[in-house]
Structure 1
Amino acid sequence: MDDSQHWNASVTQILERACLAPSSHNTQPWRFRVFEPVIELLADDSRALPVNDPHNRELTISCGCVLETLVLAANEADMTAQIQPLPDPDRPQLLATVTLSRSGRHLRSLNPLSRCIGRRHTHRGRFTEAAVDPCLFPRLHQAIQGTGVSLTSLNNLGRRALVAALVAEGDRQLWANVDWRRELAAWMRPATEGDGLVVPSPWGRGIGWAVRRFNLGRLLALSSRQQAQSAPLLLALSTDADTPRLWLDAGRALQRLLLAANHHGYQASFLNQAVQVPELRDELSGLLEGSRPQIVLSLGVPASELAPSPRRPLSVG
């Protein structure tokens, strides 16, 4: 195998690992262009959520997650990655360029997070009642140092109750929007599709029909409130402002946090309903001393292992 073929094989492996990153609704809204030694990361607007995410904030956060995973996967291949975020104002879909080079330093031994890329899954089931290690929060805080993203614990009773109420109200308001329900239903798919929110094949069409037709907000608000109130560890990631660069940074920090949590035996569930409703997001910002909330999540030990979300074929070119 010549140098070019070896580089192409390495890049394919790196990108396949990078695509194991989480994304909103499991839309996987990214694509890549490769020009040795450069990889371009682009937002895939065909996979956007215009009702749920009208400004592409969550899409950009998702791409930040894949960017951070790409860097770690490159380290696994003993390559260094030099990142230039948002390099071209005339190409807003181009979120970053990554220049790869051989390091010769065996970086895979330096970062244990890379070993968690395939083990990290979004958990949509129950957590056990096991207490969270009190050292976990400081370790997570350390994992995202240098990103410019803030991590806040929402675990004290006052904050937890307020967040739980906001999350429940978010469910009620989102589900009352018929267009939002239609968009959600469009991303409810069998696992064989390779993306979206997985529903069992025999009932998938019926579930989608019910989601489009019925407002389940009140029912789900009760469940979400309980989930927030009982979360072993309830956290928020926030930034000083709302800009595409900070959203990209938030995604990178989120993936570092998720992988660090997994390294210590924990998985995450997301509780972003209040972040997705502007008025509720403003209220949540008040709990964060004016910082703009980007992600609300809970961490715990899964009561049962669920299958990972499916992945679509790698999109390059």
Structure 2
Amino acid sequence: MNGYGEAELRAAAEAGIRAPSMHNSQPWQFRLRDGAIEVLADPARQLGVADWSGWAARLACGAATYNARLALAVHGRPAEVSLRPDSGEPNVIARLTPGRERPPTYAEQDLHAAIPRRHSNRAPFWPDPVPADARVRLIEAARIESAWLDLLVGMTALAGFAEIAGSADRVLRRDDRYQAELISWTHADHAADGVPVTAGAPRAEPQDLLPQRSFGDRRRAPGRDYEPEPLIAVLGVSGDRPIDQITAGQALQRVLLTATDAGLSASMISQPIEVPTARDQLRRSLGRTGFPQLTLRIGYGTPRSATPRRAVADVLLADERTGLRSPGT
């Protein structure tokens, strides 16, 4: 079977760069090697303070891998995926090799169409509850990708989560290096990465249940409080090795695209995962033997505009074994 070519590489990369990443750092690269498309972590874009272990970069690259899979599938050339295929090249996150050619499924088409519409929405959501059928779809999306998604139900569970998340947020706010790094990825112009101040959450107020990262000093509009009973989802996997975190990233993106396809908005709350004691508290509160990898806030909200992305040409790598340049570089 013929390998992938430059057209498939570009399609995979164009979809891959639309994945979410902490502070919109975009820590991914793409390469064509021996007919396979590889997704690589970019060490230069790993956050030195907030992501010292590389967990967030692997989660983001896993999400980018899922988008690339969808792009190849809708072109009729679905991929077989190997995660961390080379022990000697730990930055190679995934290798996508051509599988059996077939038409895309309706689900693949719908999720692929949701890629450009998926944006983190840090603004207050409407109070409308997420219906049961949508909740089932989100749980199933995680399960298909070998992950689990727990939806917190009832104010007791929400209050417990809010205490854990708020405590973690206070720990991170006391870290001057952490805050300086956050500020360095916040901008008011049209930079190709980082978070525009307009995309950040409005300034926190005492009545807020959950912590929100501040990417600016914008006040909320009158009467636009956060929803009193948000739908909180905890995404996790059975292990906590690098390969498990990549698996969680793929599941995360499938959940986010499923939410988008259902007309829902979502934002990510990573503070309870970034602080080890908070993460352990969260795991024990769920009664889970696995490891939480990210928490999400899901609901109905006013559509937001996309955060910027670097050009595809900037994330394509040459294959150093052949000296061939990837297209656009």
TM-score, length basis structure 2: 0.83
For the residues of structure 1 that align with 2:151 and 2:176, how far apart are their CA atoms?
33
Deviates more, 1:125-134 or 1:63-72: 125-134
Structure 1 position 269 matched with structure 2 position 267: yes
Alignment RMSD: 2.4
Compared CA separation, residues 267 and 85, structure 1 to 2 (3 A): same
Task: Select 1:150's aligned residue among 148, 163, 168.
Answer: 148
8 Å contact from structure 1 (residues 167, 225) kept in 2:
yes
2:103 aligns to what?
106
Q: CA deviation at 1:109?
A: 3.7
Instruction: Give the SS at the match of 2:247.
Output: helix
Compared CA separation, residues 257 and 221, structure 1 to 2 (3 A): farther
Instruction: Give the SS at the match of 2:119.
Output: coil
**Unmatched tracts of structure 1, length 5 or more:** 201-215
Amino acid at match of 1:95: I
8 Å contact from structure 1 (residues 164, 229) kept in 2:
no
Task: Select 2:231's aligned residue among 206, 221, 233.
Answer: 233
Instruction: Give the SS at the match of 2:143.
Output: coil
8 Å contact from structure 1 (residues 51, 183) kept in 2:
yes
Task: Select 1:66's aligned residue among 60, 64, 67.
Answer: 64
Q: CA deviation at 1:108?
A: 5.3
1:297 aligns to what?
296
Compared CA separation, residues 40 and 282, structure 1 to 2 (3 A): same
For the residues of structure 2 that align with 1:222 and 1:171, how far apart are their CA atoms?
16
1:273-307 CA distances to partner (integer Å, 9 max, x unpaired)? Answer: 111111111111111224311111111111x2221
1:206 aligns to what?
none
2:322 aligns to what?
none
For the residues of structure 1 that align with 2:126 and 2:227, how far apart are their CA atoms?
14
Amino acid at match of 1:106: P
For the residues of structure 2 that align with 1:279 and 1:220, how far apart are their CA atoms?
25
8 Å contact from structure 2 (residues 155, 229) kept in 1:
no
| Number of residue pairs matched by the alignment | 296
1:313 aligns to what?
311
Q: CA deviation at 1:148?
A: 2.5
8 Å contact from structure 1 (residues 238, 250) kept in 2:
yes
For the residues of structure 2 that align with 1:31 and 1:185, how far apart are their CA atoms?
24
2:37 aligns to what?
39
Compared CA separation, residues 31 and 222, structure 1 to 2 (3 A): farther
Structure 1 position 77 matched with structure 2 position 75: yes
For the residues of structure 2 that align with 1:271 and 1:110, how far apart are their CA atoms?
27
Q: CA deviation at 1:183?
A: 0.8
8 Å contact from structure 1 (residues 172, 221) kept in 2:
no
Structure 1 position 166 matched with structure 2 position 164: yes
Compared CA separation, residues 170 and 110, structure 1 to 2 (3 A): closer
Q: CA deviation at 1:311?
A: 0.4
Among all aligned residue pairs of Structure 1 and Structure 2, give the percentage whose two residues are the same amino acid: 30
8 Å contact from structure 1 (residues 190, 199) kept in 2:
yes
Compared CA separation, residues 91 and 164, structure 1 to 2 (3 A): same
Instruction: Give the SS at the match of 1:262.
Output: helix
Q: CA deviation at 1:158?
A: 1.6
**Unmatched tracts of structure 2, length 5 or more:** 213-225, 318-329
Compared CA separation, residues 10 and 292, structure 1 to 2 (3 A): closer
Instruction: Give the SS at the match of 1:144.
Output: helix
For the residues of structure 2 that align with 1:134 and 1:101, how far apart are their CA atoms?
35
For the residues of structure 1 that align with 2:87 and 2:51, how far apart are their CA atoms?
22
